[in-house]
Amino acid sequence: MTTPEFGKGFDTRAIHAGQEFDPTTGAVIPPVYLTSTYVQDGIGGLRNGYEYSRGGNPTRTALETQLASLEGGIRGLSFASGLAAEDALLRTVLVPGDHVVIGNDVYGGTHRLIRRIFGDWGIRHSTVDTSDLDAVRAAIELGTTKVLWVETPSNPLMKISDVAALAELGYEAGVLVVVDNTFASPALQQPLALGADVVIHSTTKYLGGHSDIVGGGLVFAAGQEELAERVTFTQFAAGAVSSPFDAFLTSRGIKTLGIRMQRHSQNALAIARRLEEHAGIEHVFYPGLESHPGHQLAARQMSGFGGMVSISLTGGAGAARRFAESTTLFQLAESLGGVESLVNYPSEMTHASVRGTEAEVPESVVRLSVGIEDVDDLLADIDEALARL
């Protein structure tokens, strides 16, 4: 659905876009439309365009309006998962023989989808460091490369890529530039305003924010109306839609996204600085640190540095595993972006599927999703875990 022109600040749009009160009762929170179908006013007489909930549902429409408004796009789509959103976009854009350029540090599921599912369909891909513009330029095959896939910050090594420069490369080569904005969220980064064509989200993460839903989203830039229509048809025809209740929970989470991201960022920076001082830590990957090679770029294209911190331990795989299994407040689990802090060992968890590829994650790396708990408690948990190494 096209976003209304609120002309308001981010937090105002997060709370109000698509969230008009119920005109029948005046309820401040729009009802959740738990329905599969809709009564028609005669054959083909659809009420507000609703026919069957695979094709459209008012609760999902409300979320899609929110997503489009927050990312500054012309249309948002809500999916059953982030990978469902990726699949629908790629299936719409690609045909056998096409080529994709993807970063060498991306979510393992994205790499698996492109390498194994689309690879079996005849799609080729090149894996490069998207923070290296020359490497990206060299990897693009004129006429064959159809998609440049960018994560910034990347997962899990927190590489920062120049969205505006990559968008310019894509425009010159006729390549669709897709930015996975999951780690930053629209509260901290606006890829469409920097020239990207499509933004993708795992709404499971920061947008939902409470680890209680699985979902995905796409937002299309102005000028991509035709593509948005085509992907909408793919979603309708293949059926990868979010449920009304998941859409409602995501919308509810989005309303506090701005203030949550501020706290995530504050806590993460404090933890990154503490970790940087510890002899058992070989390297801290966090763009908020002045030592990060992408710090200056991140400061230009982001309004905050986010809640994700990765570390490489000097003791290698053994130390990394012991650390990941020693924290208390940081719970050992997949996923990220919830209000609670999580610790993850990518090599055997989220990125196990990319072992042996160019996107393989070092075994010494641990990823932290820093929550919004009291920072002193989180620091104490980190200190105690490090003391057990």
Is residue 255 annotated as a catalytic residue, yes or no? Answer: no
Which residues on neighbouring strands pair with residue 128, listed in sequence order?
103
- Element of type H or E holding 375: helix 375-387
Q: What is the pLDDT of residue 389?
A: 87
Task: Flag whether pLDDT at 264 surpasses 70.
Answer: yes
- φ, ψ for residue 363 (rounded to 5)? -70, -15
Task: Flag whether pLDDT at 1 surpasses 50.
Answer: no
Is residue 52 annotated as a catalytic residue, yes or no? Answer: no
Q: What is the mean pLDDT of the chain?
A: 96
Is residue 273 annotated as a catalytic residue, yes or no? Answer: no
Catalytic residue among 54, 91, 230, 273: 54
Catalytic residue among 98, 180, 246, 381: 180
Task: Flag whether pLDDT at 319 surpasses 50.
Answer: yes
Is residue 286 annotated as a catalytic residue, yes or no? Answer: no
Question: For residues 218 and 199, is the Cβ–Cβ distance under 8 A?
Answer: yes
Catalytic residue among 107, 206, 286, 345: 107
Q: How confident is the model at residue 98 (pLDDT cuts 50, 70, 90)?
A: very high
Q: How many of the other CB atoms lie within 10 Å of CB of 31?
A: 13
Query: 206-229 burial string, b = 16+ CB within 10 Å, else e?
Result: bbbbebebbbbbbbbbeebeebbe
Catalytic residue among 112, 115, 146, 205: 205
Mean pLDDT of 167-187: 98
- For residue 153, the one-letter residue type is P
Question: For residues 330 and 343, is the Cβ–Cβ distance under 8 A?
Answer: yes
The pTM for the full model equals 0.96
Q: How confident is the model at residue 6 (pLDDT cuts 50, 70, 90)?
A: low
